[in-house]
Amino acid sequence: KNPFFSELAVGIEDSLYKLGLTPILANTNDDLDRQNQVLRSMLENGVQGIILSPARGTEGRHLDLLPPALPVILAMRRIPGCERPYLGQDNFNGARKAVEHLIALGHTRIAFAACEREDGDHRDRFEAYCSTLEARGLLSPDLIGRIPPHRLDGEKLIRNLMGMPNRPTAVFIAD
């Protein structure tokens, strides 16, 4: 469903083939139960390692079934409190730099628009947005918009923001 993950899978597959390894690919559809089933199946089949893009809601305890000696890399989504290596974007610093760029361009009323989901990606981007603007005295709670993950809701939010009497000069979209 997310085209980025197909690009990620192709890159991983190409790299593993160069190392003489054959990848086994599984999709969990962001479902915890399905993820646990896939992980158990991979263990039963004796995989040499796992690159896991954790399903939403995955906690460290969900990975307890994996032997500590099995190489596991978390990709694209961190698990709070999990010590496994992580490979992915730095959402906090990326968002901070984006907001700082908008400020450097002269924007003082910067709105925030993102999906209402509370996962690590969205939380990190929101915290960076708030802390960066707050440090400069520019944070306006009336400019924060959380919406369901649907395109039409995003359009409605932007129309509402642009219809404000003191509308934003820029919008940081964190999705």
Summarize pLDDT for 130-156 with one digit per residue, the tens: 999 999 999 999 999 887 776 777 888
Which amino acid is present at 46?
G
pLDDT in tens, 20-34: 998 888 888 889 999
Closest by CA position to 139, among listed 92, 115, 117, 172:
172
pLDDT for 89 equals 85
Cα–Cα distance for residue pair 166/57, rounded to 1 Å: 37
Q: Is the dihedral of CA 43, 9, 115, 128 positive or negative?
A: positive
What is the CB neighbour count within 10 angstroms for residue 74? 20
Give the span between the Cα atoms of 172 and 174, in whole angstroms. 6
Structure tokens that stand for 62 in this block: 């969900």
Whether the pTM exceeds 0.85: the reply is no
Measured between its terminal Cα atoms, the distance across the chain in Å is: 15
Q: What pLDDT shows up at residue 113?
A: 86
- pLDDT tens string for the chain (175 positions)? 567 778 888 999 999 999 999 888 888 888 999 999 999 999 999 999 999 999 888 988 889 889 999 999 999 888 888 889 998 888 899 999 999 999 999 999 999 988 776 666 778 899 999 999 999 999 999 999 887 776 777 888 888 899 999 999 999 988 7
